[in-house]
Amino acid sequence: MDEYTFSVVIPAHNEEKYISRCIAGIKRAEHYAYSAKVEIIVVANRCTDRTSEISEKYGAKVIVNDKKCISAIRNAGINAASGKIIVTIDADSIMSKNSLCEIKERLESGKYIGGGSPMRFDRMSVGILCSAAAVAVNLIPIMMKNKAALSGGMFWFYKQTFIDIGGFDETLISLEDMDFASRLNSYGKSCNKKFGSLKHSYIITSSRKFDEFGDFYLIKNMKMTKRLFTGKDREAADKFYYNVR
């Protein structure tokens, strides 16, 4: 049986347009991580396009999970993972070439329980900047409650840590990433370790939500934006995430 240093888990719902670029970015980062061996797991969720076919063509392992719950999708991929270190990234995002190398260095230093990554959009506009500010306003109460400024985008941690904190919360319909980061941060404190953000690496993520809804959509629909940040609103989550394409 292969021994993997990393398992990179990618939730994917009809991602034929993006998945090859995501996987190519992981493979490039594998090259820069020297002796590290990387397993790529694509969790195909209700796909009706060529996502699975393309993923397998580029060397990824594909598993299927058809739940309308991003936490369950992430958990399915991580539970199937063989690597000691887990990285989660969305299918429409691309990690920079030094990402895996920096993640490995941080975890092996013994100072970090895990962490996130800075994120850049593949295009920027006044509307996207304003929308990002609106999201930040909604996150402030959550961040103050958890007493941490938590970075997300791409999460990294040991698989054993994932098991210890119980994985992603499947009772949440959205905001599962912030909840996971908060619990990861709290667990780290109990182990005298920090929740960190990569300093030299980042991800580039698509602006497709803005392409689909408009750059000012979150500003014009603040009530729905707030509903998304409850983590429990099925109607809002379906409208913005699960039933879009």
Lowest mean pLDDT among 4-13, 51-60, 151-160: 151-160
DSSP-derived secondary structure for 109-167: TTSEEEEE--EEESS--HHHHHHHHHHHHHHHHHHHHHTS----SSEEEEHHHHHHHTS
If you average pLDDT over residues 14-19, what whole number do you get? 96
Better-predicted residue by pLDDT, 94 or 182: 94
What is the average pLDDT score of the chain? 88
Q: What is the pLDDT of residues 25-53, one digit of tens each?
A: 999 999 999 889 999 999 999 999 999 99
If you average pLDDT over residues 151-165, what whole number do you get? 92
If you average pLDDT over residues 98-121, what whole number do you get? 96
Return the number of other C-beta atoms located less than 10 Å from residue 217's C-beta: 16
The structural domains of the chain, ordered by start, are 6-121+151-206 (3.90.550.10)
